[in-house]
Amino acid sequence: MSGTLLRTARLDVRRWRDADAPRVLDLHSRPEVVRWLGDDVAPMRTLQQACERIAGDNGVADRPGRGHWAVEVRESGVVAGSVMLVGLPGEAELVQIGWHLHPDCTGRGYAREAAAAVLEHGLRQLPEVLALTHLDNYPSQRVALAIGMVDAGLTERWYAGPSRLFRAAP
Ligand SMILES: CC(C)(COP(=O)(O)OP(=O)(O)OC[C@H]1O[C@@H](n2cnc3c(N)ncnc32)[C@H](O)[C@@H]1OP(=O)(O)O)[C@@H](O)C(=O)NCCC(=O)NCCS
């Protein structure tokens, strides 16, 4: 389908659509999701914010090796969450991979399946991809390790407080 970046065994990694707005709002309005996403990210409140988010996330793909995509379960058409390759705060030439799932889609391997494909895509165009997690975000750390990233220890370089850093190179 047009706008599809990658197909994995179960998932389509694709551009966001306006029709995804209710799902985006459902995902980003959840404190249990946004508490892990950077410094003091406020939960989303309105469909208008979701539409703006969709436009912004689709706009990330304006540089090689960057993008912020929806992860759709092909069999059901449900958007499980998102995977992204985005610049680090204040150092946009450095790219981090990230992921988040709606709680109704965790525990099925969707994050690592989508992230593995997106990491491979990124490393075709980038010299290195990083990932940063809160120290106690063990589900996210398991995703990073499962897709072959290497634990590079703790850093306070990009976010307030310590993060655990993961690296991958071609
Ligand atoms: C981080 C996050 C995406 C991880 O989700 P997840 O469901 O644990 O990760 P996956 O989709 O890769 O699923 C892996 C789990 O599914 C299980 N699983 C079930 N079926 C599977 C399959 N077919 N293949 C692989 N794993 C499968 C695995 O055993 C694993 O569980 P475990 O870690 O308890 O062993 C999710 O917790 C989340 O969105 N959190 C909030 C946002 C967030 O923290 N984002 C990251 C910021 S750094």
Cα 69 to ligand 1 centre (Å)? 17
For atom 20 of ligand 1, the residue with the nearest CA is 108
State the Cα–Cα distance between residues 49 and 95, nearest whole angstrom.
Answer: 25
pLDDT tens figures, 130-162:
999 999 999 999 999 999 999 999 999 999 899
Domain ranges of the chain: 4-168
Which pLDDT band holds residue 2 (cuts at 50, 70, 90)? low
Task: Write the residue with the smallest CA distance to atom 26 of ligand 1.
Answer: 109
Ligand 1 atom nearest to CA at 106: 7
**43-76 tens-digit pLDDT:** 999 999 999 999 999 998 878 899 999 999 999 9
Scored b (16 or more CB within 10 A) or e, 82-103 reads bbbbbeeeeeeebbbbbbbbbe
**pLDDT beyond 90 at 1:** no
- In the chain, count H helices and then E strands: 5, 8
Q: Which of 26, 97, 112 to mutate to test the pocket of ligand 1 (most atoms within 8 A of CB)?
A: 112
* Residue 154 main-chain phi, psi, to 5 deg: -100, 150
pLDDT at position 62 is 76
Q: Which residues' Cβ are closer than 6 Å to ligand 1?
A: 33, 36-37, 81, 98-101, 106-112, 133, 137, 139-140, 142-143
Q: Does domain 4-168 sit in CATH 3.40.630.30? A: yes
Q: In the prediction, which pLDDT does 27 show?
A: 97
